[in-house]
Each structure stands twice: as structure tokens, then as C-alpha cells.
Amino acid sequence: MKLQEYRSKEILDRHGVPLLAGRTATTPEEARAAAEEIGGPVVVKAQVLVGGRGKAGGVKLASDPDEAEQKAREIIGLDIKGITVRTVLVAPAAEIAHEYYLGLILDRAAKAITVIASAEGGVEIEETARTNPDAILRLPLHPLIGLQEHQSRRVAFFLGIPADLRKDFGRVMRGLFDAFVQSDADLAEINPLVVTDDGRLLALDAKIVLDDSALPRHPDLEAMRDLNEEEPSEIAAREAGISFIKLDGNIGCMVNGAGLAMTTMDLVKLAGGEPANFLDIGGGAKADKVTAAFRIILDDPNVKAILINIFGGITRGDEVARGIVEARSQLEREVPMVVRIVGTNEAEAKPILAEAQLITADSLDDAAAKAVAAAGGAA
């Protein structure tokens, strides 16, 4: 789960990372009030979970409260990569002398939390990795003992942090590491970390991505979820315990297992169709889950056919078959359904499907072809 900048900063602030917190505003008037309270020049920043806010006109400087109100009026309601800006962060403006990139990632290759640092701050790290890979330091931390002081020093020397700010930099590293570990993050980055003209070290922008698997033990962080930025169907899916991602095609997919769900999408495409979604009903799917999955898929008016592909393992085929038949009887919209069920309790599933007169398929290629045909042919 991605956190908004102001949420990420709240967490870093709690762990002692120096920053100019600012205040959020959802109306131009609130932005003015925030600027008045802060005093002096401010920066008004769109709070959206997509990159490239600055280029899209979502980050603007304002020298006084009047201007802050005006800039907030321009930014609130702005569409940035399909997301409508609802909230802005109003924060004190800083005079920047140097910018750095400092991040921690869950490093799957190194099996560690790894520090990523670059003296090219303010630029996306992927960009630096492409253009100037030598400017990046990657430093895996020991998974059992965590961040050590010498490692913070090494990063400080690599970045060329001014001598009088090295202690502060150590606090930034410690705070970032503690924030990462204590919130179960996948990514925590400060970009840019800056040295100001008046010699302060500050986190000007921050981004934290949390490990979804760990969210159950962090209800306080779960509460930071921004529902405005999620597809309503994806919210409904999460509440039903279904893994779902909306796409642009017209063939709805209901599959058990993430790998098979991706493969089903790939084969729909190979058969000349376009998948409308990724959907994994997960292990042990029951009738109520299948019902929820149907509702979620059919909520998309583009869907012209549904391909159901269940290969039993944890999931029992007869339960799914019964669920499909039961759920279908409750649907308001009817679309052709192609069903393939194989594996655990496969034999028990077949008569249930036959009786309900659903289109059946034995192989996945066959199922994909039938679904594409049922949706009106190749796209």
C-alpha cells in the first residue's frame, strides 16, 4: 500500500527525521489558513500517489497566503495521470543548496533491507540508474542486526554530506530505518533530502510503500489508506478478500491462484481478446466469495463475457461450481460464462455445471478461445 507524502512524513517525523511538516488542505481557503499559520513562503503540493506531480503542475511555490490560496485553487481538482487532486500539502518553502536521494528497499536479491543513496537528488532513482548508475550506492544492511553507525557514516561520505551535518545525517538514517522496520515497509524514500542555504538537513519529500502482508498488524497504518485513489471495484474486492486489478478489456476473468490468473489473461490476449481484469479468488474460495467476484467483475460495463478458470488445490472444485451456479442466479446482468474447473473434487464439479448449462471447456486454450468468441470475437 502506497502512502501519501504527508502520511509518509508523519511517520518519518515520528521517528525523528527532520522535516518541514506543513499542513494539509482540501480547499483553497484552508490552504490560505495553513499558509498564514506557517508564515513566509510556502510550497503547495498535490497529494496524489503518482509520480511526476511537479511536471503535471501539482507543485507550486507561493510567497504569501493570497498566493497560496490561488495556487491551491489551481491544484485542487487538477487531474494528474487520471487522479483528481483532493488534498494539498502546504509546507514551508526551503532554499535548497544541495539535493540527495536516500531510500531503503526490501531487496529481494540481497535478502536484506538495502540502502540506496545518490547525490543526484530530486530525480527519480530509476532515472539515475539508467543515466548514471555509478552515482548510486547500494548498501545491504544485515537482516538480523540492522543499521550500524559505520554504515550511516559510509553513506554520508559517499553523498558528500557537509561535516557539520553528518550527525544529523546519522539521525536521518536511523529514523528512516526505524520507520521502515516498524511500519513493515517495502520502500521508504526521501527524495529530495536537502541541505538548505541556512545549513539545515531536511526531508523535503517522502514516500513510503507498505508490505500488504503486514498490514493486519498495523491498523493505524491501514487507516491511512486513501480510498479516493482506488477503483471502487478494487476496494470492494479487498473487502471480500479477493485480489483484483481492473484492466481495459472486455473479458472478465475469475481464476484461483495469481500465476494462473496472469496466465489466463495472457491466453485471452493470445486468443485475440483483451482481459478486463486480473482476479484471484484465492485459496478455499466459497460461494460467497464467488458471488462477490461476479459482482466485482460485472460492475465493469465493458465486460461482455466471463472466463472462469479454477484449478483445484486448496480450492475445491465442487464448492466453486456450486458457488458459480448459486451466484449466477442472483446476478442482475447476464453475460456468457465459460467455465473450466479441474483438480481437487473435479468429478463432483462437472454434474453441477452441466445441470446449470454453463459453457464448459476442458483446456485453458479452449476456454480462452470460447470466451473470446462469447464476447463477440477478437478485439
Gap between the Cα atoms of 297 and 371, Å rounded: 14
- 162 versus 343: smaller Cβ distance to other proteins: 343
Query: Residue 19 gets which letter from DSSP?
Result: B
| Minimum gap (Å) between residue 209 Cβ and other proteins | 10
338 binds other proteins (CB under 8 A): no
Asked about 189 being catalytic, the answer comes back as yes
Site string for other proteins, 7-46 (x = CB under 8 A): ----------------------------------------
Catalytic residue among 101, 120, 234, 319: 101
184 contacts other proteins (rule: CB under 8 A): yes
Task: Say if residues 199 and 164 touch (Cβ distance below 8 Å).
Answer: yes
Residue with cell 489466463: 264
- In the region spanning residues 284 to 303, those forming contacts with other proteins, defined by CB under 8 A, are 284
- Phi, psi for residue 23 in degrees, rounded to 5: -140, 150
Candidate residues 22, 65, 275, 323; the one interacting with other proteins per rule CB under 8 A:
275
- Other CB atoms within a 10 A radius of the CB of residue 39 amount to 10
Q: Choose the binding region for other proteins from 28-36, 115-123, 125-133, 291-299 (rule: CB under 8 A).
A: 125-133
Q: Could you tell me which stretch among 12-20, 40-48, 124-132, 225-233 binds other proteins (CB under 8 A)?
A: 124-132
d(CA 159, CA 327): 59
Please say which residue, 119 or 247, places its beta carbon nearer to other proteins.
247
227 contacts other proteins (rule: CB under 8 A)? no
Q: Pairing state of beta strands 185-196 and 206-210? A: antiparallel
| 3-class secondary structure, 26 | coil
- The window from 74-82, 324-332, 349-357, 362-370 that contacts other proteins (CB under 8 A) reads 362-370
Name the residue nearer to other proteins (CB basis): 190 or 255. 255
Residue 100 annotated among the catalytic residues of the structure: no
What's the rounded Cα separation, in Å, for the pair 184 and 249?
Answer: 35
Q: Which of 61, 97, 258, 354 binds other proteins (CB under 8 A)?
A: 258
Q: Does 222 bind other proteins (CB under 8 A)?
A: no
Cα distance from N-terminal residue to C-terminal residue, the chain: 33
82 binds other proteins (CB under 8 A): no
| Burial zone of 350 (CB within 10 Å; 0-12 exposed, 13-18 middle, 19+ buried) | middle
Is residue 378 within the footprint of other proteins (CB under 8 A)? no
Exactly one of 93, 119, 136, 214 binds other proteins (CB under 8 A); which one? 214
How is residue 123 written as a grid cell? 530525480
Query: Is the separation of the CB atoms in 341 and 359 below 8 Å?
Result: no
Contact 244, 219 (CB under 8 A): no
Of 59, 136, 247, 287, the residue at the interface with other proteins (CB under 8 A) is 247
**Amino acid type, 36:** E
Of 194, 231, 173, nearest to 101 (Cα)? 194
Sole window of 54-62, 76-84, 243-251, 300-308 interacting with other proteins (rule: CB under 8 A): 243-251
Cα separation of 102 and 119, whole Å? 9
- Check residue 192 and give left, alpha or beta (phi > 0: left; psi -120 to 50: alpha): beta
Strand pairing report for 251-255 and 243-246: unpaired
With CB under 8 A as the contact rule, the residue among 216, 219, 301, 377 that binds other proteins is 216
Q: Is 272 in the site for other proteins (CB under 8 A)?
A: no
Stretch that binds other proteins, among 75-83, 93-101, 178-186, 220-228 (CB under 8 A): 178-186
In order, the DSSP letters of 38-83 are: H-S-EEEEE--SSS-TTTTT-EEEESSHHHHHHHHHHHTT-EETTE
365 binds other proteins (CB under 8 A): yes
> CB–CB of 363/263 below 8 Å?
no
Residue 379 lies near other proteins (rule: CB under 8 A):
no
Q: Which residues are catalytic?
A: 101, 189
Chain positions contacting other proteins, by CB under 8 A: 51, 106, 108-109, 111-113, 124-126, 129, 143-144, 181, 184, 186, 211-214, 216-217, 243, 245, 247, 255-263, 265-270, 275, 278, 280, 283-284, 311-314, 342-344, 363-365
